[in-house]
Structure 1
Amino acid sequence: MTVAVIADIVASRQLADRAGAQRAIAEAVQRVERDLPVATAPLAAVVGDELQGEYAALTDALASLLLLRLALPDDVDCRFGIGVGDTRPIELEGRTLPEGPAWWAARDAVEHVERLQQRAAPLARTGIRLAEGQDATMSEAIALAAAYALSRDQLVSAMSERTRRLTYGRCIGLTQRELADAEGVSQSAVSQALAAGGSAAIIEGFDVLAAKARA
């Protein structure tokens, strides 16, 4: 079983510097891979504004993508489609291309998130789908993960860039004092920003995911 991820840049056509946005995403991916190296194939640009990556477990993908969202600057955002299932890479003209049910599910998931953004949940950024042919007993876990991702997206999408930086730092184990020194503010200011942004719930959730990823 593979966890396939398709990411695309939100409102990419409205960006003044699309190349700069892609560089910012690539740098954020590299940072996340240094801090939590769990991807079997880290997210990488494949065509246009789309990126693809693979993980061995859903907990790995959710932990990694959370850090990625927290690492992105204010003017760059991505939506993610996660597909859980089998893959069947194919060879074409000397290249290996990702293919199979997990990728089809990931495509469906990212398109679902885009529809959600236009209607019921403007701050949604992560969709999760179970590929056809998988054990039906997994469907409940996938539904729970999808609900968690929607709630998490709501909090992260509402954060300021500084609060996301602080939350990222706390997720990877930095103290509030270390973050305050890095930001040039007081520890009290860090504590207040984290509390106002709802970061405690995000950090606790990340700790649960990361504990599974690092096991």
Structure 2
Amino acid sequence: MSVAVIADIVGSRGLADRAVAQRIIDQSVLTVEQDFPSAERPLQPTVGDELQGVYPTVTAAMSGLLLLRLVLPEGIDCRYGIGIGALIEVPSRVGALAEGPGWWAAREAIDIVHARQARSVRGSRTWIVAADEADAVGTHVANAYVLARDQVISEMSERTRRLTYGRLLGRTQGELARSEGITQSAVSQALATAGAGALIEGFAQLQIAGTAAGES
């Protein structure tokens, strides 16, 4: 069953240049898909500050969105609602319209992110909702994970996010040090101080879970 994702831009009305921000987000989506293809249909702008995409599985969505959060530069961020449920297309004169329980669940999920971010969990950026109660049990565990990882990422500097992104893709600390113009020990210290090890291990566990479920 495919998974729907709705994203919206955090603080879009306050951005100095909305058009530039959109181009950066679009390029970031393409970068992630080139480095780690995971989406059936990568996130695409729809209307206003919203984007929509489709992933083959929840683990693929969580993996791709983790990388996207890390690759976005300082000052540009998105919220993500992941919806598990049937996806259908309604024909219209302007093309197929996305519809179905998976999209309704994704809409509910992003509303929850808004509410949590506005209250006690300011670092929250991702939430998962299942349209069918039978699929909901696993979402509680997944949401516990994304809450923690989002908080870690939200507190990272832009450079540390870049370093973490590189490590998730298998780049060595030496390679990252050369690309950033810093020492390998500086890379190691930055990753350790920011808690990047937890993100790296969590990403690895997602890939193991996907493989065990026959997703690759």
Pairwise same-fold verdict (TM > 0.5):
yes
TM range (shorter): over 0.9
* Structure 1: runs of 5+ lacking an equivalent: none
| Amino acid paired to 1:75 | G
| Per-residue deviation, residues 158-199 of structure 1 (Å, max 9, x unmatched) | 000000000000000000000000000000000000001100
Q: 1:59 is matched with which residue? A: 59
What is the Cα-based RMSD across aligned positions, in Å? 1.1
Q: 2:47 is matched with which residue? A: 47
Q: 1:206 is matched with which residue? A: 203
**176, 179, 183: which is aligned to 1:179?**
176
Q: 1:85 is matched with which residue? A: 85
Equivalences for residues 4-153 of structure 1 within 5 A: 4-131=4-131, 134=132, 136=134, 138-153=135-150
| Per-residue deviation, residues 49-93 of structure 1 (Å, max 9, x unmatched) | 100000110000000000000000001000000000101111111
State the alpha-carbon separation in 1 of the partners of residues 154 and 29 from structure 2: 18
**Which runs of at least 4 in structure 1 moved beyond 3 Å after TM superposition?**
none
- Cα distance, 1:127 vs structure 2: 0.9
| Amino acid paired to 2:136 | S
- Cα distance, 1:135 vs structure 2: 5.6
- Cα distance, 1:210 vs structure 2: 3.0
Is structure 2 residue 182 aligned with structure 1 residue 168?
no
- SS of residue matched to 1:110: helix
Number of equivalenced pairs: 212
State the alpha-carbon separation in 2 of the partners of residues 19 and 196 from structure 1: 34
Q: CA 1:58–1:12 in structure 2 vs 1: closer, same or farther (change >3 Å)?
A: same
* Structure 2: runs of 5+ lacking an equivalent: none
State the alpha-carbon separation in 1 of the partners of residues 19 and 201 from structure 2: 34
State the alpha-carbon separation in 1 of the partners of residues 109 and 18 from structure 2: 24
- SS of residue matched to 1:95: coil
- Provide the TM-score with structure 1 as the length reference: 0.96
Paired-residue identity, %: 54
- Cα distance, 1:124 vs structure 2: 0.3
Q: 1:188 is matched with which residue? A: 185
| Per-residue deviation, residues 112-159 of structure 1 (Å, max 9, x unmatched) | 10011110101100011001xx261x2221110011100110000000
| Per-residue deviation, residues 26-48 of structure 1 (Å, max 9, x unmatched) | 11100100111110010010111
- Cα distance, 1:104 vs structure 2: 0.4
- Cα distance, 1:94 vs structure 2: 3.8
- Provide the TM-score with structure 2 as the length reference: 0.96
